Chains A and B, each alone.
Chain A
């Protein structure tokens, strides 16, 4: 059953492709108000036509990104979409083969040493000396990083206090990731770059990581993160870019992106055949289950409910929602596969 629905979804997206800016009224319930009021609107990151090639392989095929100061920006995409490669260029570790990149007003390729004190980086994995204890790792960090901070504060903040004497190699995956994050936010840098900060975390640890990212945002810091998790982008990001195959497929605030996609409603009709009214959107029927995708949610929903009321049809499981990021993500991937 699920498989059938999935196939239909794909076909649906294939037919429609990108849809014009439709319902500007569309809202989702999970949104935070974007940005902090009065935030500096200058750009923390300004990328134009970034291209990264390794021999014949193009990892990043000419992308533009702009991240405003004080915002949380999420780069979404599948494995191999070019997210990490893009971050590495921003961090000054990756070599670009084309385009211009400005991070906090500096070119990371040539001014990494000036940029580094103002930027905290969480790499995708590893980077620990397993034989050092948690406390020793943070104490060493204190001597190496130019921003002042205290190991005690971070042990407490990331709930690693009880593990201070444990060798890093003996920590659980979640604990390592927390230590990793503690090192990235050490001294509260102007810009924090997080590569998949919650991959492999349990829901509770993920929630803690989100809290830490919210804290950074409240302190006016700029955060760029990559993630596979759509709900993470929805919970954290002011704006997102969805990458696929080295390009940015979709970008904008979540409400912009969602508004550009059709919304939908679904309901289950009582048993027996029913002829549905004429609707503007696409109607999918699976037995008694009805699913409608439309750019005119209000109009179609009114028509549908009016039709049900007039015939005394008792609907169950009625649900109306804007396109979820999951729908959009799926649409992007399906679109590229054609």
Chain B
């Protein structure tokens, strides 16, 4: 009986298999589908109509874009990923999956992948909507791309860290609230708080606020303009994103639990 050593699956195939099963589950679960897909989309479109206008001011486009990005990152990706991680740990699924050929890293990637994919789809919807309605006209794409990529890294590491301090799926509705508010509020505020005033550049250190600053830069095109001590304005924002991602990742790595507390 040497069949036991013959592998019929590949590491990537296993991650994809679990990720697609998880994606199917997000769509199958109505509560998650509404709170993670419909609600952020509805809010994003609503805000575009409320704040957006045809005035063409960079600040109008910045607020709308920051709101949309903020809601996708917080409610779309962060809350969903945290809820799924906590639910899978609580029901013992993470522990069972560790008895399969999945590596620990592959297991986590597969578990959060649907949330990330969901976020990207929502952003594409907003991008098309904003372009068609001319709500926001970014002049520099680089900071916007950095905001999206950096923001996703930030909220995924934050979800891993939040799952550490969340004892049950029900509690994830409470434990995700603080960062959701800080991220959303910070992103919106810093998208219009003028970076030309030096002390405001330090707001990049508020978790998630860097996303708003990057959005502002994409609208004003002042990405590389010198700020405090001649450092380009984009730098504090990047430092803020990296710093918090590292803090969250370290917390998650050191204290992550694969099974519910007994």
Contacts and interface: CB of A to CB of B under 8 A. Distances in A.
B92 A117 contact: no
A116 B17 contact: no
B258 interface: yes
Contact of B101 (A91, A132, A146): A146
Contacts of B96: 123, 126-128, 183
A246 interface: no
A148 B18 contact: no
Contacts of A119: 99
Interface string A122-134: 0101111111100
Instruction: Tell me which of A117, A130, A140, A188 has the highest count of chain B C-beta atoms within 10 A of its own C-beta.
Output: A140
B98 A147 contact: no
Nearest to A191: B4
21 contacts: A117-B101, A120-B99, A121-B99, A126-B91, A126-B92, A128-B92, A129-B21, A129-B25, A129-B88, A132-B21, A136-B21, A140-B18, A143-B14, A144-B9, A144-B17, A144-B101, A144-B102, A146-B101, A183-B96, A188-B1, A188-B4
Contacts of A125: 92
B197 interface: no
B18 A144 contact: yes
Contacts of A136: 21
A93 B1 contact: no
Contacts of B28: 131
Contacts of B45: none
B97 interface: yes
Nearest to A91: B99
Interface string B132-151: 00000000000000000000
Given A93-B258, A118-B4, 7 more contacts: A126-B91, A126-B93, A128-B92, A129-B25, A132-B25, A136-B21, A144-B101
Main SS at interface, chain A: loop
A182 B211 CA distance: 48
Contacts of B93: 126-129
Contacts of B102: 144
A125 B91 CA distance: 9
Interface of B: 1, 3-9, 13-14, 17-18, 21, 25, 28-29, 88, 91-93, 95-103, 258-259
Contact of A117 (B5, B18, B98, B259): B5
A275 to B, nearest CB: 57
Contacts of B259: 93
Contact of B7 (A91, A146, A190): A146
Contacts of A143: 9, 13-14, 17-18
A110 interface: no
Nearest to A180: B96
Interface of A: 91, 93, 113, 116-121, 123, 125-132, 136, 140-141, 143-148, 183, 187-190, 219-220
B85 to A, nearest CB: 13
Contacts of B88: 129
Instruction: Tell me which of A117, A141, A144, A148 has the highest count of chain B C-beta atoms within 10 A of its own C-beta.
Output: A144
Contacts of B8: 146-148
Contacts of A120: 99
A141 B101 CA distance: 10
A93 B257 CA distance: 11
Nearest to A124: B92
A153 B212 CA distance: 55
B91 A189 contact: no
Going nearest first, the 7 A-B pairs with the smallest beta carbon separation are A127-B96, A126-B92, A143-B17, A127-B92, A144-B100, A146-B101, A146-B7
A189 B14 contact: no
Nearest to A121: B99
